[in-house]
Amino acid sequence: MHYYVYIMASKRLTLYVGVTNNLMRRVNEHKKHLTEGFTKKYHVTRLVYYEETNDVNAAIAREKEIKGWLRRKKIALIKSVNPTWKDLAKELY
């Protein structure tokens, strides 16, 4: 099984860090505002970063690690692989 740590962004660059075992499904839920909460409230709909692992515990630990970072460090992580902040979900479909 695969697990994903991911970062979503809004047009105003509000960031959300999450973890899932089905990245396509979860991104779709964010895009269509299917669940109540932060991403729906702030229109966080663009997948700007993700990483994959086979270890659920590693994925959860990495999510917590990234959530604990300052905003500038999260932005640096995103820019290291996605300097133009394109929506990576388009590559998944």
How confident is the model over 26-78, as pLDDT tens digits? 999 999 999 889 988 999 999 999 999 999 999 999 999 999 999 999 999 99
Number of domains in the chain: 1
pLDDT at 32: 92
Q: Residue 3: pLDDT band by 50, 70, 90 thresholds?
A: very high
Q: Which residue has the tokens 């394109």?
A: 86
Q: Residue 85: pLDDT band by 50, 70, 90 thresholds?
A: very high
Taking the C-alpha atoms of residue 89 and residue 50, their distance in angstroms, rounded to an integer, is: 10
Q: Pick the more confident residue, 3 or 34.
A: 3
Tell me, what CATH number does 14's domain have? Answer: 3.40.1440.10
Domain span at residue 63?
Answer: 3-92
pLDDT at 91: 85
